[in-house]
Amino acid sequence: MAWTKNVLRVNLAAGTCMQEPLNMDWARDYLGQRGLGTKYFLAEVDPKVDPFAPENKLIFVTGPLTGTMAATGGRYSVVTKGPLTGAIACSNSGGYFGAELKFAGWDMVIFEGTAPKPVYLLITDGKAELVDAAHLWGKTVWETEETIKKQHQDPQIRVASIGHAGEIGVLYAGIVNDLHRAAGRSGVGAVMGSKNLKAVAVRGTRTDAYQIANPDAFFTAVDAGKKALAANGVTGQGLPTYGTQVLMNVINELGALPTRNHRDVQFESAQAISGEAMHEKRPTDGKANLVTNGACFGCTIACGRISRMDPGHFTIKDKPQYQGASGGLEYEAAWALGAANGVSDLEALTYANFLCNEHGFDPISFGATVGAAMELYDLGILTKEEVGFELPFGSTEAVVKLAELTATGEGFGKVIGLGSKRLCAKYGRPELSMTVKGQEFPAYDGRGLQGMGLAYATSNRGACHLRGYMVSPEVLGIPIKMEPQATEGKPAMLKAFQDLTAVVDSSGLCLFTTFAWGLSDIQPQIQGACEGDWSEDRLLLVGERIWNLEREFNLAAGLTAKDDNLPPRLMKEPAKTGPQKGAVSKLDVMLPEYYQLRGWTPEGVPTAETRTRLGV
């Protein structure tokens, strides 16, 4: 079977590492990764726990297809209670770390308590020990990974670590592995820092770590899946060539690109920060921002960006660590650092993104928080004296300076590190925070795309595009074309997307495969890898069960239907330009139908019948 059936429990306070068997009854109900990690978390943690208390736990968890030959089978998730939102946090990452953890023989690592001093966990196959990390505390993610590899004289060790942002409690700090892949949202890195846990380093060489249940059926399904990815226009051409940045001009022309803290829905300089622009040769040195694309473990799509900055740009003079090639801009980061703030300097955005990677904080929440600060400044609520410099929309220098200050926790960077909800509340204008449940919006306007607005409002981890990617039907026509302003059919489509996404996130596969794959492509791979019966109906039930389990945690944590909402701006201020001009979100039309389809009361609470049917 595709599970290793091993859980590593690490008590940071006691300094112990203990092996225990995986609960296979739970694995059969929740599959793995996001679902299984959440089940363990809810069974062991009080939903009302302070995210930074020792009683909060941090779970690294793989899926049954992680580390297999399935295309994109390299994912892992980090589950905890998020300090940014107070809701369930499950942050997904690619790279090679997840597969390495599986090769070492572990499905899951559960961290509990707080270490009395900084440590990192070293896993070598079935062995695990906590190692003093005093020499690593204060180092960046990049420095930490390099130091650990040199210290153990093994360049093949895979490292997931926090930077200074996680150490000082930036509320949207992430956990970065393989230098520029990240479990980036909801503040999972800040929880890791609160536990004095600097890194997890893994070396896995076990060829018997797991077994495929039916190899012939599995490899037949995998081969068919890879052919489908290669033949698809998005996964076979668009993403390899332009990465997720292929969307910048598309979404802008559609009139759904949030600009200047959602004041506008189109950015006049979108082309300058697009995927196409990353390919253009610079007049200064004749080279392009983009060096090549990159792939995570087992990935045949290779949407990752590897970029090199203009050596003469003002941001990297006397900074040699940024003069080599590293993780380049993806769509969400380019939007958040750029369009959200009215900034169009591609090289400066690349630099700010490098800072987010090196110091370990989410560029989406960071950039959106800067956008809120810029609006407060524009309204005269924030002053130059408070910030330390001028902060108008469109200021490249301000974005760069705030990225540097947030990375180090200095000056106004401390306030930016709180996120936009707390920033706007601090200055008496909470309505200017473009968030749901305290988490900042990604790069789609809920007025321009009605389904995405509903997806944001109902997402269990706060505003998120990856919990129900309604851009697929509303923009790309996958699996069917739905008009952006239509509301009919959107609640049902979103529920189906959310349930399917929960399955994908729990399997170990990357969500981007679903541009080409449907459940009929994914199910045979799970069926071939895992023992037992994994029909399509059963998998959809698993996805629905996971979604409702997350909902139960949030309700117990104190969230209510009032948190399934959008900022007043999206509900009352019409889009000013473009094809969606005049539109506001029609959330109030869609939300009651969504609750009904979910089997929830009008107050957004799962009914007794729903709980019984799902076994939640």
What digits encode the pLDDT tens for the residues 440-465? 999 999 999 999 999 999 999 999 99
Looking at residues 242-262, what average pLDDT do you find?
A: 98
Closest residue by Cα to residue 271 from 196, 328, 355, 339: 339
Q: What is the rounded average pLDDT of the residues 99-113?
A: 98
Mapping DSSP to helix (H, G, I), strand (E, B) and coil, where does residue 530 land?
coil
Could you give phi then psi for residue 336, rounded to 5 degrees? -65, -40
- Cα-based angle 89, 91, 92 (whole degrees, multiple of 5): 155
- Reference 361, options 414, 317, 423; nearest CA is 414
Q: Residue 304 pLDDT more than 80?
A: yes
pLDDT for position 47: 98
Q: What kind and span of H or E run contains 21?
A: strand 16-21
Burial per residue of 132-152, b for 16 or more beta-carbon CB atoms within 10 angstroms, e otherwise:
ebeebbebbbbebbebbbeee
Output the pLDDT for position 387. Answer: 98
Which residues does 477 contact at the CB level (< 8 Å), separation at least 6?
Answer: none
- pLDDT for position 74: 97
- Position of tokens 């900034």? 343
The tens digit of pLDDT for each residue in 489-528 reads 999 999 999 999 999 999 999 999 999 999 999 999 999 9
Angle between helix 490-507 and 519-529 (nearest 10):
30
Quickly list H helices, 211-286: 215-231, 233, 239-242, 248-254, 275-279
122 within 8 A of 152, measured Cβ to Cβ: yes
Res 317: pLDDT: 86
Which uninterrupted H or E stretch holds 39? helix 33-44
Predicted pLDDT at 439? 98
- Other C-beta atoms closer than 10 Å to the C-beta of 415 total 20
Neighbours of 270 (CB within 10 A): 22
Mean pLDDT across the stretch 363-387?
Answer: 98
- Section 152-171 average pLDDT: 98
In the structure encoding, which two tokens stand for residue 147, read together?
A: 């130091």
Give the number of other CB atoms < 10 A from CB of residue 281: 10
Radius of gyration of the chain (CA): 22
Tell me the C-alpha distance between 125 and 509, whole Å. Answer: 23
**pLDDT value of residue 1:** 77
Is the separation of the CB atoms in 125 and 171 below 8 Å? no
d(CA 221, CA 525): 5
β-strands 108-112, 6-11 pairing: parallel
* Amino acid at site 407: A
Residue range 554-564: average pLDDT? 98
Which residues does 311 contact at the CB level (< 8 Å), separation at least 6? 285, 323
Whether the pLDDT of residue 420 is over 80: the answer is yes
Query: pLDDT digits over 317-340, tens only?
Result: 889 889 899 999 999 999 999 999
Contact 359, 163 (CB under 8 A): yes
Within 10 A of 215 (CB to CB), how many other CB atoms are there?
Answer: 12
Give me the pLDDT at residue 318, please.
87
Cis ω for the linkage preceding 479 (within 30 of 0)? yes
- Could you report the per-residue pLDDT of 522-552, keeping only the tens digit for each? 999 999 999 999 999 999 999 999 999 999 9
Express each pLDDT in 108-127 by its tens digit.
999 999 999 999 999 999 99
Average pLDDT score over the chain:
97
The structure tokens 């503040």 sit at 187
DSSP 472: I
465 phi/psi in degrees, rounded to 5: -90, -15
Residue among 593, 232, 187, 129 nearest 417 (CA): 187
pLDDT at 419: 98
Q: Are 264 and 577 in contact (CB under 8 A)?
A: yes
Q: Which domains does the chain have, with CATH numbers?
A: 6-203 (3.60.9.10), 259-433 (1.10.569.10), 450-614 (1.10.599.10)
CA separation for the pair 247, 224 (Å, rounded): 27
* pLDDT for position 487: 98
> Running DSSP on this structure, what letter comes out for residue 320?
G
Count Cβ atoms within 10 A of the Cβ of residue 562 and give its class: 0-12 exposed, 13-18 middle, 19 or more buried.
Answer: exposed
| pLDDT category of residue 431 using cuts at 50, 70 and 90 | very high
Q: Tokens in use for 461?
A: 């981890």
For the chain, give the number of residues: 616
Cis peptide before 491, with omega less than 30 degrees from 0? Answer: no
Give the phi and the psi of residue 171 in degrees, each rounded to 5: -70, -10
Give 276: exposed, middle or buried? Use CB within 10 Å, 0-12, 13-18, 19+.
middle
